Amino acid sequence: MKKPLLLALLSLSSTLSHAGTFTFSLDNDGIFGVDKDYTNGLFLSYFSDEVSLSPVLTPITSSFGTFGGAAHKVGFTLGQTIYTPKKIEESTPQVDQRPYAGVLFFQTDIANISAYRADRYGFLVGSTGPNSLADVAQDFIHSITGSTQPEGWDYQVEDQMLGNFEFETHNALFRSRSSGGTQHEIKNISRVMAGNYRSEIATGMMWRWGSGLDSSIGAARVSMENSFLPGMIMQGSSSAYLFAGIEGRYRFNDITIDGPVPDEVYPVTLQNTQATASLGAVWYNQTLGASFTFSAKTSDFKEDETSAYGVGALTLFGFF
């Protein structure tokens, strides 16, 4: 098992060019004046320009079918996500509250991209618990902003190594003719995740309106976390567009809800059926770009008295 994996990694590294897309993304719920549930996410990523994949990786990138005219890209993301209960000022666990949880992860992505379809295969490794450094990060941020200090990180989801697989596909169902340099598009977004971090099946629809839609079909997502992926844009293009979408999913497990916690923490039950909506805008030229997204979701657990949560996301990126 180790030898084929090593060969795959070596062949992957040999295909990477110096050009690529570098991205900084920040999610935070402070824009809505709250500090609870999914409260912060930080993502740093690099995606290559178009590469030629070796035969070792071809079976992986065709697991869910192939399509003509696809360009291949490889990406790497270092990320941290933070989740807290509503009453972060309480030093002891409260009933009907989600547990404190943090995830620190590294993800490798392989993408197939064309004008009308984009597939992305993601492989994640990471950790929960103190190893995620979520408590350190939140304490530091709140000390700078003067926000309420979280008092319950001693009761967070415990240390656990994570491994996860993700497949996400974007398929254009309709794209209008260009009028004044802009087009309308309706696309389907579907996703499968499997692992001890999260397992789920999801599908949804997204509307996009603007320019350069054919070079960025896989970038805008319906997601609370890391909702725009500039690495999925084909370099050398310029664009500006609005997007809005909705997604439904069935989630089988979520380490931030049903992961191991200290005995003092009141248990909560994962809500299997969930939904998310996203609304955003993006602009970029051949050198740099930015996007901003508002996203809202239903609750992750059954005991929750709050029916919906929101987050804002800022993404800055450059092409090199």
SS3 119: strand
Cα R_g (the chain), whole angstroms: 20
Residue 287 class from Cβ within 10 Å (0-12 exposed, 13-18 middle, 19+ buried)?
Answer: exposed
**Domains plus CATH for the chain?**
2-319 (2.40.128.140)
Note down pLDDT in tens along the chain; length 320 residues: 445 444 444 444 444 444 799 999 999 999 998 899 999 999 999 999 988 876 666 666 666 666 667 889 999 999 999 999 999 999 999 999 999 999 999 999 999 999 999 999 999 999 999 999 999 999 998 888 888 899 999 999 999 999 999 999 999 999 999 999 999 999 999 999 999 999 999 999 999 999 999 999 999 999 999 999 999 999 888 999 999 999 999 999 999 999 999 999 999 999 999 999 999 999 999 999 999 999 999 999 999 999 999 999 999 999 99
Among the listed residues 293, 294, 240, 246, the one whose alpha carbon sits nearest the alpha carbon of residue 274? 246
Can you tell me the distance from the alpha carbon of 220 to that of 81, in angstroms, rounded to the nearest whole number? 19
What sign results for the dihedral spanned by CA atoms 196, 224, 32, 301? negative
pTM metric for this prediction: 0.90
Looking at the DSSP bridge assignments, the partners of residue 20 are 48
